[in-house]
Amino acid sequence: MSGLCGWLAPAQSVAPADGAARVALAGMAAPLSRFDGAPLAASLSEVGGVAVAAIDGSRHVYQQDGLQVAIWGRPVLDGSADDVASRLASLWLSRGVAACASLSGPFCLTILDAFSGSALLAVDRAGIHPLSYASNTQGLFFASSMDALLAHPSVRGALDPQALYHYLYFHMVPGPGTAYLGQQRLLPGEYLHVRGGRQCKGSYWQLAFQEPGAARTRASFAANKQEFLRLLRQAVESSLGNDSASTGAFLSGGTDSSTLAAIIGQVTGRPARTYSIGFDAPGYDEMAYARLAASHAGSIHHERYVTPDDVLAAIPAMAAIFDQPFGNASAIPAYYCAQMARDDGVTRLLGGDGGDELFGGNERYAHQALLSQYERLPVMLRQAIIEPLLFRQQRGKPWRLGDKARRYIEQASLPLPARLDGYNLLLRHGHRTVLEAGFIDTIEPGMAPGCVNGAYWERQGQGLSQINQLLALDMRFTLADNDLFKVRKACELAGVEAAFPFLHDAMVAFASRLAPRDKLDGRQLRPFFKRALAEILPPAIVRKKKHGFGLPFGQWLHSHAPLREFAFDNLTQLRGRGIVRPAFIDDLQGRLLAEHPAYHGTMVWLLLMLEQWLSQHPGALGALAGGFAASATETPAVLDPTA
């Protein structure tokens, strides 16, 4: 729907102005072609160019005397949203890279400085607006969509086999990597500064928890509640923008979306417009909670029940809109929810994403706290009494309580974050069972948990409580690489802009100051959040467990023949890609899916969406046809704009 792209190149490699303009606009043409009414601005200089296409209010361009500043999104600079691009240009000239720290809100940006032959790329603190880049001997190329990046004739699109492995492991491709060799993504709060032939990547902002120590006085609940509600109203008001009448909200019936529905009514003085998705499948439908929240908030509520036929119809377009493989099936209901809102005249939807990761709302936080209690027992008690008793050779009748205790100890004995992957599909089956031997030769399977989650855990977790370590990990991976990507792309497909009030910078800063016990007290999730909103939310919603827009795909594979045939046809096509072993696909379609439809239905979905993504991206198919081994050795060149 909107985005930013451009390039920085040595002067002698830049095409004439009109040709350069065509190159810049080509990068935006493909992802924008399905939408109307998106203004486009392009600016050029002797060292490069930039193009921005965006809906009203989210395009900010400044150009004067060889300096180009382009921002996509809704940034705020030192508290003001007015004239952001020109004011950022002044800050760039006086402060350089440090100018980024003055920005807040959702954005990605580029600054091209013709006088110094330098460039700056940056993304917002939550990673709401992505920015990818690639460099070679012809220059540095960047875009907010990898599809736009690949539209430039100087950028190649060779698939990275390690990224495909990461997709099968994480169900998405975690940053800073992308699906393509030689292309990288900026992480939340990161910048890339290019000058004098060198690329310097750094962070202008990092999530920092301020855990209260013995010398710090903890704020009272009343004071924290007052500040929280004030910031929440400000965040919602900011997210509504100038046209609140055309803004609605996702409503799943959980605490976060229900809170937004209530606060929108308070801020605007009129009922919120809310949109919910349901499923006619036992254990998946939460429409009753959504109706309760809508009634309590007095919102104008809209509902749709998603069917297997809806899923079947949406899969090709959904695979096409993602610029790299993505396996979160709840993107489908999110899309239909956004489509329903668009049909109702809504152009922006507020989502509750971020509330769980800031205030402690995921069930696994409580589960991990329970597992961590075991390691606090005396070593002699564990090793000399408990474990020998439970793990000795069994005789007589099975002991169900003993089986549960053994599983608990096995999980608790693993260190974090490795034990978060206990139910990982690829780990459970083993990569040699799932993947072709030739594909395994091109990857490093141990890189998934060890070098992605593990490295971040070690870097961010020094001196933090376990709950804050888990929150930091989820902010970085679960949120930035998965949930935000899902909602943003689902909304883009429906022609709607997504906004996330809980990720307002002041709200993130507030949550980082809360005491760990305010986020997890024993096994009680988000105690502060629920207590602070007790007068706003219905009691039943405060007490309910998290659910969301989960898709009953595994169940529907059994009950809906057209969906099953479509899925299995795609798995048949995937057999010839040299990635997944045909024997595993046979086992998956037969024994495994019959044994556990929900669990192994997820693997069917992952493989189905991989095949669909490859089919919808012809450039990726070309890379596959050339084989993985040769492309895996390619190394991107470093830009030298002074050459």
pTM to 2 decimal places? 0.89
The domain at 3-203 falls in which architecture? 4-Layer Sandwich (3.60)
Q: Are 616 and 319 in contact (CB under 8 A)?
A: yes
| Residues 480, 492: Cα–Cα separation, whole Å | 17
| Residues 615, 320: Cα–Cα separation, whole Å | 9
Mean pLDDT of each 10-residue bin along the chain, 643 residues long: 75 37 34 33 51 72 89 91 94 94 94 86 96 89 89 87 94 94 95 90 93 65 96 96 89 96 96 96 89 97 97 97 96 97 96 96 94 88 81 64 80 85 88 95 74 66 87 92 96 96 97 96 95 96 76 94 98 96 97 94 97 87 49 36 31
Contacts for 457-463: CB closer than 8 Å, 24+ residues apart: 457/416, 457/417, 460/207, 463/211
Query: Dihedral of CA 75/81/87/91: which sign?
Result: negative
**DSSP 8-state code for residue 545:** P
Q: Report helix, strand or coil for 370.
A: helix
Residues 6 or more apart from 233 whose CB is under 8 A from it?
263, 266, 267
Do you find a cis peptide bond into 176, omega within 30 degrees of 0?
yes
Q: Which two tokens stand for residue 627?
A: 């084989």
Dump the DSSP string for 131-149: -EEEEETTEEEEESSHHHH
- Residue extent(s) of CATH 3.40.50.620 domains in the chain: 221-306+327-360+471-543
Dump the DSSP string for 162-230: HHHHHHHHHSS--TTB-SBTTEEEPPTTEEEEEETTEEEEEES---------TTSPPPPHHHHHHHHHH
Q: Are 77 and 101 in contact (CB under 8 A)?
A: no
H or E element, residue 452: none
- Residue extent(s) of CATH 3.60.20.10 domains in the chain: 3-203
| Residues 537, 261: Cα–Cα separation, whole Å | 10
Contacts for 37-43: CB closer than 8 Å, 24+ residues apart: 38/1, 38/2, 41/70, 43/68, 43/70
| Residues 252, 473: Cα–Cα separation, whole Å | 24
Q: Are 156 and 631 in contact (CB under 8 A)?
A: no
Count of helices and strands (H, E) across the chain: 31, 21
CATH topology of domain 221-306+327-360+471-543: Rossmann fold (3.40.50)
Q: Are 485 and 326 in contact (CB under 8 A)?
A: yes
